């Protein structure tokens, strides 16, 4: 999976940081030290880490991801990360 979304609430810039959904690559989530959680009332799971977004972005860069775009949505900050992959078609 070449894309990863990283997000955090503006008031929580020091963490925790959301790093994936239930379909995210388990190897990447393990590398980040993420834990899979389901919030009460949600019918989906998310991966979270206690690290700040900056540390998460640094870790992802070390394994070949780069920031494609970043935006603020209400009180949430979101980064879209991409990693080139070799696909056989």
Fold held by 3-83: Gtp Cyclohydrolase I Feedback Regulatory Protein; Chain: K (3.30.1410)
pTM for the structure as a whole: 0.83
Domain boundaries, the chain: 3-83
Q: What is the pLDDT of residues 25-78, one digit of tens each?
A: 999 999 999 999 888 888 889 999 999 999 999 999 999 999 999 999 898 999
User: Which backbone phi and psi does 32 adopt, to 5 degrees?
Assistant: -80, -15
For residue 10, is it left (φ>0), alpha (ψ between -120 and 50) or beta?
A: alpha
């Amino acid at each position: 999976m070449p894309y990863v979304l990283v997000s955090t609430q503006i008031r929580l810039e020091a963490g925790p940081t959301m790093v994936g959904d239930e379909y995210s690559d388990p190897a990447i989530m393990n590398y980040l030290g993420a834990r899979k959680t389901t919030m009460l009332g949600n019918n989906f799971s998310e991966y979270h880490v206690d690290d700040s977004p900056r540390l998460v972005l640094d870790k992802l860069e070390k394994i070949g991801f780069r920031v494609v775009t970043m935006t603020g949505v209400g009180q949430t900050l979101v980064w879209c990360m991409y990693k080139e992959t070799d696909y056989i078609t």
